[in-house]
Amino acid sequence: MIDLEAIASDSGLEDPNEVCWSDTIVLLHERGVDLYWLLNFVRAVNDQLRSMEREYLEQERASLIVDNIPAPEPLPFAFNEEITPRFLVQNLIVPLTKVFAGPLYARLPIECRGSPSRFVSHTWDTSLLSGPFSTLAALRGAGYVWIDIVCYNQHRAESIATDMKAVVESIGELHIPLIGIAPFERLWCLWELLCAHTVNAKVKIVEPEVTQYDLGMMMRYFREKFKSVEIAATTLPEDREQILAAIVSEFGSTRRADEYIRRLVEGTLSKESDKPWIKDDRQPS
């Protein structure tokens, strides 16, 4: 089993039995988590999973050589499990907050809470940590962010669409880490983008930090893979119908929504022409 107490201790989380929580204590849009704390929390989870994998393999090898050493118990997760938001919520965040049935925010060290300056939009199945092409790696810089896995009460997911719109409007800035085209393949991410457009919030497409040799790579991938918001998916069919209807209501058609997304992305991402040697070649001799 994952050692929740060890992760809580490493992350400085407050004792759940001493948490007195109500969703009105800190308003939803005021719950910001320090980005460095979040990164270290995810790293602590990753380190423990990798350690459990090593121990499993060591015992498995020993059991094949020594008669009285039993085979290891199966791990409670897949080998090389990616630390995604879905994995964190199901295996860490819900168990760490079940005593008081509130958000993980309520257990954060006081110094790691603050007013968020950006709302982070992400998919639930994209890695938070794996290399430069992960959600947290793309979110460079310090400061407090609003991210649902920490700031939203995972025990009471009742009015998500309304809540997300209110939070985006209050914070006024939406950041979308662009890992492949995943954010534009999930309608909940598109809903958050729609909310930002509706309330005139600033939208920033955050490109992974890559070397100069990789400039333009994400743009090429986006142009090749992105087709239309019309084929984006949700877990529940009724959510899909409602969000697509709202998109059409705001933009006039899915085609216009597609055009808006293409302009937004192409105005933000680096391009092949940004490579320094290409720029140098264009200088007059």
pLDDT in tens, the chain (285 residues): 899 999 999 999 999 999 999 888 999 999 999 999 999 999 999 999 999 999 999 999 999 999 899 999 999 999 999 999 999 999 999 999 999 999 999 999 999 999 999 999 999 998 888 765 577 777 777 699 999 999 999 998 778 888 999 999 999 999 998 777 888 889 899 999 989 999 999 998 887 776 666 677 778 888 888 899 999 988 888 888 888 998 999 899 999 999 999 998 888 877 776 666 665 555 554
In the numeric block, which tokens belong to residue 43?
Answer: 């790293």
Q: In this structure, are residues 32 and 113 in contact, taking their beta carbons and an 8 Å threshold?
A: yes
Q: In this structure, are residues 186 and 232 in contact, taking their beta carbons and an 8 Å threshold?
A: yes
Sign of the four-CA dihedral 107, 38, 114, 193: negative
Q: Tell me how far the alpha carbon of residue 250 is from its chain's centroid.
A: 25
User: Closest Cα to residue 152, out of 45, 31, 22?
Assistant: 31
Question: In a 10 Å sphere around its CB, with 0-12 CB exposed, 13-18 middle and 19+ buried, how is residue 238 labelled?
Answer: exposed
| Residue 105: per-residue pLDDT | 97
pTM for this one? Answer: 0.87
User: Closest Cα to residue 136, out of 191, 101, 84, 186?
Assistant: 84
Residues 280 and 275: their CA atoms lie apart, in Å, by 9
